[in-house]
Amino acid sequence: MSTGYIAALITVTIWGLTFVSTKVLLLSLTPVEILFARFLVGFAVLFAASPHCLKSKGWKEEKYFIAAACTGVFLYYFLENVSMLWTSASNAGVIVSTAPFFTALFSSERKTKWFYVGFAAAIIGIALMSFGSLEVSKSSLLGDFLALGAAAVWGLYAVLTKKIATFGYSGIQTVRRSFLYGLVLIAIPLIFWNDFSKERALFSAQIILNILFLGIAASALCFVLWNVAVKQLGAVRTSVFIYLTPVITVIASAVLLGESITILSALGTFLALFGLFLSSSK
């Protein structure tokens, strides 16, 4: 198995667990607070790993870093976090996994017939998982819609990272630059719309451990691994691995949060995995 496939598998496994971690944090923090803390930790880790500044070729490259920050750092995670105020972790994981559909729409890469066959199988599986989850948790339509919006935004980010990979910079430097712009964007709603007057226990062990998991593993490590995967496999093929995210999320949500797994969810999980196999095959 190539490095690209390994990087993609590790990434989606950790990302599958982030829905559970975020759901836990939403009991104490706002979506924007989680976002800012997560990427502040991620930026600090990346800076420690590679303190050398990235010297780009001006606006023609910086505009792509800013666009990546707007989509993959700010909008995607903001919509995902807010969606889980109204929907379950498993349901959000299922819906967000439709991102490969949008990546395929936005990408100019050539897709094989097996991609479409596998994609159709995975979409049916995702629909069954979503229906099964809705049947149990009665998730809000608003939360589901926001999660779908996050998937669309990720499709744009996946294409942007493919373009950024052609600049020839290290993965850590490019991700760190996107994180920096992202933190500036996140700080705007944090400063102007966040209520700092509430008295909350912000430094409990549970909050700190989950923030560190999201910041170090899910943000710093996974963004670098994802860029490695995109560079080696392409945006479309790499995004197919996102089909695994809802499988991991549904299982983790059942074990850690007590969310139920229905027969439809189990059937959908099988179809999603089968679709992943077909879409990744030659």
- Residue 278 CA to residue 276 CA, distance in Å, equals 6
Mean pLDDT in order along the chain per 10 residues (282 residues): 86 91 91 90 86 78 91 92 87 80 75 80 77 58 84 89 83 83 86 63 82 88 83 80 80 86 78 74 58
Predicted pLDDT of residue 10: 92
Predicted pLDDT of residue 58: 78
If one counts the domains in the chain, the total is 1
Residue 110: how many other CB atoms lie within 10 Å? 8
Q: Is 210 exposed, middle or buried (0-12, 13-18, 19+ CB in 10 A)?
A: buried
- For the entire predicted model, the pTM comes to 0.80
Q: Which of 84, 70, 52, 80 is nearest to 183 (CA)?
A: 70
Predicted pLDDT of residue 128: 78
- The residue type of 260 is S
Q: Which domain holds residue 143?
A: 3-280
Asked if 144 and 87 count as a contact pair (C-beta separation under 8 A), the reply is yes
